[in-house]
Amino acid sequence: MAIISKNTLQKSAGLIGGAVAARKAGSVIPIQNETVKKSIPFVLGLVLSGQRGELMKDLGYGMIAQGGADLLSSFVPGISGISEDVLMGSTDFEDFSSDSYDTTSAEAGEMNF
């Protein structure tokens, strides 16, 4: 018995494709109102999930998940979970001192066997 079946891979590809399509659709729609703009991928996913083909349904479910998460995050800030933001730490490298913390250099003694 295979660990991952063909059906699981096809469903996963449909869900991922739907999420990517929702993200892309949300970025190319020329609407100024952000709430309406974020709801369009969700609604399109609802329409696709009602189609006959399994791939179309899976694409729709992926769009519902991504579009719904984006729509919800516009109402409740910080609920989106993992996004483009760094979860912890600083991305401003000027905060770090100029001292070198390279422990792989020969001067640090790490390479002296």
Q: Give me the number of domains the chain comprises.
A: 1
Look at residue 33 in the predicted model and tell me its pLDDT: 86
The per-residue pLDDT for range 30-57, each reduced to its tens digit, is 888 888 888 899 999 999 999 999 999 9
Q: Considering the entire predicted model, what is its pTM? A: 0.64
The per-residue pLDDT for range 19-30, each reduced to its tens digit, is 999 988 877 888
Domain of residue 45: give its range: 9-77
The answer to the question of residue 95 being in a domain is no
The answer to the question of residue 94 being in a domain is no
Q: How confident is the prediction for the chain on average, in pLDDT?
A: 77
DSSP code of 98? S
Residues above pLDDT 90, as percent of the chain:
34
The answer to the question of residue 96 being in a domain is no
Angle made by CA atoms 53, 22, 70, in degrees to the nearest 5: 130
Which helix (H) or strand (E) segment is 80 a member of? none
The answer to the question of residue 105 being in a domain is no
